[in-house]
Structures are given as structure tokens and as C-alpha cells.
């Protein structure tokens, strides 16, 4: 079989995987990524992290608005590749492309399937306080994340892990597993396992409404939300009509009304126990540790936050 592959990816999470494949025995003939976007009104065009990395590696880049067109169908069909590797591409690959003869489409998914199919597996695993997560290398089928998997590896979610830290761990793990998976396929040793449909859970897309703080939950659950939703959209409260985002906090064994400021160090009561805020960000400003923040912004003991 050919060592040639097409790579499809977009965000920073995909970059270590691209580098790993580039440094392997497989040749990347083209990279697909999401279209370039304007950074803001009237500003310069912004390329995806994968687009920029591909240019550094001198790999041809294609970035159609939609891959569902005759031009890209013909390109992939005539590319001479045996494998297409997809990791956080951001577009659904049409059935007619998936049905191309002699090409295996592999997806790298950041969960241990069938748990957390869908758009936000890393965030949901943290928010739901899972003890473990991992990576699945699976065959792509028309149904979302429902294909059989050929390789999985589980890792522990550590106490200090937030979305950024856990994403980096899973990205590095993915970069190792994908080369092993391709080697197994090439050597005829791959074994695809069907997912257990009875155990499926869905990691729905993160909505902005989830970032509004709810003090009427346990401190442990609130911290899980903070870790899972940072940096976007974050978890925030309003104080004097100002939106303030909590960047980092720890659970403490104190009690008070939900939302009550319990001391001068920004310890806030929850339904169960309390959180002590360690770093915080006023809307439109830089992230500060709590001491520095309070030096220039007053939140009084006894106030109730909403």
C-alpha cells in the first residue's frame, strides 16, 4: 500500500499530529483546513494553526468553504493516497468522498468512545468530573463519531487538569497513536471494534449560556465548570454591571449563602462548601491574581454575587 496520506485538521490541537506524521515514514500530499477568516472588521486575514504549520513544512494547503464539491472530490479520488487522517477538521466529510475505493478515512477523537461522541469531548469530560478520558482512532462513517475504533488509550484526568492542560496531553497522545495505527493498517494487523451503542453519551457543543455562573451548585461542581470552560467561553459573574471571569479557583471548607463573599480574599459561598478565587479577569482587561485584582477593584465581604 502507498505511504501517501491526506491530512485534515484546523485548531492547535491538530498541530502535534501533523508534525508527527510529517516526521514519520508517511508522506502528506495535501492538508485540508478551515477557510481563512478575518480577525476583525477591516483587519488582516487569519489562517488556522494547521494552515500556518503546513506552510512552515511546505505542505500544499487546501481550504475550501465546503469540501462537498466536485473539485475536491476529484482531487482526493486522484491523489493516490490510501489514508485520510482527520483530527478536529470542523467539516463533515460527504458520503460520496467516504465511499471512494481504496481509501481509509481515520478520525482521531479525544475521548474513549462510545463515551462523549460529538463536538466537545474534552470539555464535557472535565465538566462531568470524569476520572479518566483518552483517545480513539476510528474509521469515519456517515453517522457522527459512530464508526468502529481500531485503537484506544486511556489516561487519568489529574486534579490540576483544565481544558488547556488536558487538550495538550491528548494531542500529544494522539500524535503517537496515529502513526501506530497507520503502521497496523499497512501491515494488515488492524482490528476494528464496533462501538457499544448502549453506552453512547454525547458531548454537545459548548453554549455561551453555560458560562453564566450558578452559585447554587457545589463548589466541586463549580470548579469543574471553571476548568472545563476556560478559556472559552469561561465562567463569569456580574458585579456592578461589570462582567468578571473566574480563571482559577480551589474548593475550601467554608460555608455561607450561595454567592456570598465570605472574606476579603474572595472566598465565595456555594451550595456546598465554597470556592477561593485565585485568578480573575475583568471584562476587557488582563488576567490578574486575586490580590492584584482587589488592589484596584473593591468587592466587599458580605456582598452577594450574581
Residue 39 reports pLDDT greater than 80? no
Helix, strand or coil for residue 84? strand
Residue 42 pLDDT class (50, 70, 90 cuts): low
Residues 29 and 178 in one domain: yes
pLDDT for the residue 38 = 74
Residues 241 and 289 in one domain: yes
- In the block, cell 464539491 appears at 69
Q: What is the mean pLDDT of residues 248-270?
A: 97
Residues 192 and 216 in one domain: no
- Residue 304 domain flag: no
Q: How far is CA 270 from the centre of its chain?
A: 28
SS3 content of the chain, % helix, strand, coil (to 5): 30, 30, 45
Residues 45-63: tens digit of each pLDDT: 899 999 999 999 999 999 9
Residues 229 and 248 in one domain: yes
8-state DSSP, 198: G
Q: Could you tell me the residue range of the domain that residue 225 belongs to?
A: 209-296
**Cα 18 to Cα 242: distance, rounded to the nearest angstrom:** 41
Residues 246 and 180 in one domain: no
Residue 186 reports pLDDT greater than 90? yes
Give 197 or 37, the one with higher predicted confidence.
197
Residues 58 and 192 in one domain: yes
Strand ranges (E), the chain: 4-9, 27-32, 37-38, 45-46, 61-62, 83-87, 104-109, 117-118, 132-139, 149-156, 202-203, 235-239, 242-252, 267-269, 274-282, 287-289
Query: Do 276 and 223 touch, CB atoms closer than 8 A?
Result: no
Residues 109-155: tens digit of each pLDDT: 999 999 999 999 999 999 999 999 999 999 999 999 999 999 999 99
pLDDT for the residue 272 = 97
Residues 74 and 130 in one domain: yes
Query: Do 36 and 26 touch, CB atoms closer than 8 A?
Result: no
The total number of structural domains that make up the chain: 2
Query: Do 279 and 248 touch, CB atoms closer than 8 A?
Result: yes
Q: Which residues contact 165 (CB under 8 A, 6 or more apart)?
A: none
pLDDT for the residue 57 = 98
Residues 33 and 130 in one domain: yes
| Mean pLDDT score across all residues of the chain | 96
Distance spanning both ends of the chain, measured CA to CA:
61
Residue 40 reports pLDDT greater than 70? no
Residues 90 and 228 in one domain: no
Residues 188-235: tens digit of each pLDDT: 999 999 999 999 999 999 999 999 999 999 999 999 999 999 998 999
Residue 3 reports pLDDT greater than 80? yes
Strand order in the sheet with 149-156: 61-62, 27-32, 4-9, 83-87, 104-109, 132-139, 149-156
- Residue 306 domain flag: no
Residues 136 and 179 in one domain: yes
pLDDT > 90: percent of the chain: 94
Residues 131 and 156 in one domain: yes
Residue 306 reports pLDDT greater than 90? no
Residues 215 and 189 in one domain: no
Residues 60-116: tens digit of each pLDDT: 999 999 999 999 999 999 999 999 999 999 999 999 999 999 999 999 999 999 999
Q: All 3 cell numbers of residue 140?
A: 469515519
Query: Of 152, 184, 203, which residue constitutes the final position of a domain?
Result: 203
Residue 301 reports pLDDT greater than 90? yes
Query: Do 305 and 259 touch, CB atoms closer than 8 A?
Result: yes
Amino acid at each position: 500500500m502507498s505511504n501517501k496520506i491526506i491530512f485534515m485538521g484546523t485548531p492547535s490541537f491538530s498541530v502535534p499530529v501533523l508534525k508527527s506524521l510529517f516526521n514519520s515514514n508517511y508522506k502528506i500530499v495535501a492538508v485540508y483546513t478551515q477557510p481563512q477568516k478575518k480577525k476583525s472588521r477591516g483587519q488582516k486575514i487569519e489562517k488556522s494553526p494547521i494552515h500556518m504549520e503546513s506552510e512552515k513544512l511546505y505542505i500544499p494547503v487546501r481550504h475550501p468553504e465546503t469540501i462537498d464539491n466536485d473539485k475536491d472530490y476529484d482531487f482526493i479520488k486522484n491523489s493516490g493516497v490510501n489514508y485520510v487522517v482527520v483530527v478536529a477538521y470542523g467539516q463533515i466529510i460527504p458520503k460520496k468522498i467516504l465511499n471512494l475505493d481504496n481509501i481509509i478515512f481515520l478520525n482521531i477523537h479525544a475521548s474513549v468512545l462510545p463515551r462523549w461522541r460529538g463536538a466537545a469531548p474534552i470539555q464535557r469530560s472535565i465538566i462531568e468530573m470524569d476520572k479518566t478520558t483518552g483517545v480513539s482512532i476510528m474509521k469515519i462513517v456517515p453517522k457522527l463519531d459512530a464508526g468502529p475504533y481500531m485503537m484506544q488509550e486511556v489516561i487519568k484526568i489529574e486534579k490540576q487538569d483544565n481544558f488547556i492542560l488536558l487538550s495538550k496531553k491528548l494531542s500529544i497522545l494522539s500524535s503517537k497513536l496515529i502513526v501506530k495505527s497507520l503502521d497496523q493498517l499497512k501491515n494488515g494487523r488492524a482490528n476494528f471494534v464496533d462501538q457499544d451503542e448502549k453506552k453512547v453519551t454525547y458531548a454537545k457543543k459548548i453554549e455561551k449560556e453555560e458560562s453564566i455562573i450558578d452559585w447554587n451548585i457545589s463548589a466541586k461542581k463549580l470548579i469543574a465548570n471553571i476548568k472545563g470552560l476556560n478559556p472559552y467561553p469561561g465562567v463569569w459573574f456580574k458585579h456592578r454591571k461589570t462582567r468578571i471571569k473566574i480563571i482559577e479557583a480551589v474548593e475550601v471548607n467554608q460555608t455561607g449563602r450561595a454567592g456570598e463573599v465570605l472574606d476579603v480574599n474572595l472566598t465565595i459561598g456555594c451550595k456546598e462548601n465554597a470556592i477561593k478565587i485565585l485568578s480573575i479577569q475583568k471584562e476587557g482587561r488582563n488576567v490578574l491574581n486575586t490580590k492584584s485584582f482587589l488592589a484596584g477593584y473593591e468587592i466587599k465581604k458580605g456582598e452577594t454575587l450574581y
